[in-house]
Amino acid sequence: MCHSGKIVIRVFVADNHVLVRRGLRELCREMDGYIVTGMVANGDDALEALGRDRFDLILLDLVPGMARRELIGAIRDTTAQTPILVFSQPDDPHVVKRLLQAGAAGFVSKKSCTDILMLAMRKVASGGRFVDSSIGGDVLLEYFCVSPPDTCLSPRELQIMTLLAQGQNVTTIATALAISDKTVSTHKVRLMHKLHLRNDAELVRCALDYGLVG
Give the separation between CA 109 and CA 93, rounded to whole angstroms.
Answer: 11
Per-residue pLDDT tens digits for 34-44: 999 999 998 88
Query: Nearest 5°: CA angle at 10, between 102 and 128?
Result: 45
d(CA 58, CA 125): 9
Domains of the chain as residue ranges with CATH: 2-134 (3.40.50.2300), 137-209 (1.10.10.10)
How would residue 204 be classed by pLDDT, with cut points 50, 70 and 90?
confident
Q: Give me the mean pLDDT over the 108-124 stretch.
A: 88
Angle in degrees, 0-180, between the axes of helices 93-102 and 68-78, rounded to the nearest 10: 20
* pLDDT higher than threshold 80 for residue 198: yes
**What pTM was computed for the model?**
0.67
Nearest to 120 by CA among 110, 131, 111: 131
pLDDT given at position 22: 95
- For residues 182 and 68, the model is more confident at 182
For residue 4, pLDDT beyond 60: no
Closest CA to 105 of 74, 132, 136, 66: 132
Residue 91: predicted pLDDT: 67
| Contacts (Cβ under 8 Å, ≥6 apart) of 91 | 107, 109, 111, 132, 134, 135
Q: Among candidates 184, 139, 141, 180, which has minimal Cα distance to 160?
A: 184
Count of residues making up the chain = 214
What CA–CA distance (Å, rounded) separates 40 from 21? 8
pLDDT at residue number 38: 96
Indicate the average pLDDT of the chain.
84
The fraction of the chain above a pLDDT of 90, given in percent, is 39
With a cut of 60, say whether residue 72 has pLDDT above it: yes
pLDDT, one tens digit per residue, over 147-194 is: 443 346 777 888 898 899 888 999 999 998 999 999 999 999 988 887
